[in-house]
Amino acid sequence: MRAIDFEQPGTLRADDARGKGAPGDGLGLISACAPGVGPRFDAGVMPEGYLWWYVDALSDDGRYGITLIAQLGSCFSPYYAKARRRGDSDPLNHNSLNVALYGEVKRWTMTERGRSALRRDASSLEIGPSALSWDGSSLIIDINEITVPIPSRLRGRVKVYPNAIAARPYQLDHAGRHYWAPIAPRAHVEVELDKPSLRWSGSGYLDSNWGVEPLERAFQRWEWSRAMLSDGGAAILYDVTQREGHRPPLGLRFAANGDVEHFEAPPHVRLPNTSWLMRRGTRVDANKFARVAETLEDTPFYTRSVLESHLLGEPVTAMHESVCLDRFNSRWVQTLLPFRIPRVGK
């Protein structure tokens, strides 16, 4: 194992992370977050582009889970895809807060809202009645949404306390048009909901992705996972399949204090297909195995799962996702999406 050289291909230099620019990033998108600083909600989003902040967490007792994604230029919006086909590439007219509850209490919401519902500055982001705020050391997410397919109120607060703030960006594609930054590879998360009435805490994660073109233009699919390590750190695997060229999988090990090392991604293994026949797989230590402990999201083009696996010489619990952009871009999936993603306002 060796420390990462941030000058190597596939990552950005420290100067780039402070917003001085990067390939395909002429409008300063790198300021979406910064090492040791955290998220910046006022970052620019280019036409046809996207920007999101992602949180996930599992409760300490194993009974509950949550994911939250605040999206500007919502990548998986059928309305944004349709608008681009018409020549309207304004990303800030397509924003949403996606919240999914798992385990003993299940809920889903992802209401898309237009420009008039968006307010933001460096430390705060409002999308309609919901909001995110960053105080320099913690992220607070105030949720006030309506669930689908059965309408109900989803309201409450989620607090994310990073163990350490990393936030160095990594280039995901050859052209330098898509980036990812693990802001808090491991965090303490507190969930306090009024509707439904729910209180729990556990271990979580915070990151950000951004790009200057639709995901489906650059990628066929990807697999991503983050695993909790026994020393208080985390291991992250990012495995993308580009439409042009090949990039080796990215393996990062984060210590509890945020220090990061690169590790060679172990062999790939197939996992069982989902009920939608979505293919999924992961990487696991040689001569070890991985199994799906629970499938959290099962959609035609996207699956999220909890895995019991083995990485860096120890058994781990991992949050895992597989995405197929070819399926997402198909007509039949685009027709289904509005049933899960309602849009209100302009």
Contacts of 143 (CB under 8 A, 6+ apart): 68, 97, 99, 130, 154, 155, 156, 157, 158, 193
| pLDDT tens, residue by residue, 197-236 | 999 999 999 999 999 999 999 999 999 999 999 999 999 9
CA 30 vs CA 43, 52, 89, 181, 210: distances in Å: 8, 12, 20, 9, 8
Averaged pLDDT score across all residues of the chain: 90
Structure tokens given for 151: 């309408």
184 close to 163: Cβ distance less than 8 angstroms: yes
Determine the Cα–Cα distance for residues 182 and 37; give it in Å rounded to an integer. 12
296 close to 100: Cβ distance less than 8 angstroms: yes
| pLDDT tens, residue by residue, 83-119 | 999 999 999 999 999 999 999 999 999 999 999 999 9
CA 93 vs CA 72, 74, 132, 155: distances in Å: 8, 9, 18, 24
Determine the Cα–Cα distance for residues 93 and 300; give it in Å rounded to an integer. 25
Question: Which residues in the chain show pLDDT less than 70?
Answer: 1-31, 346
- Domains along the chain with CATH numbers: 2-340 (2.40.370.10)
Determine the Cα–Cα distance for residues 187 and 237; give it in Å rounded to an integer. 17
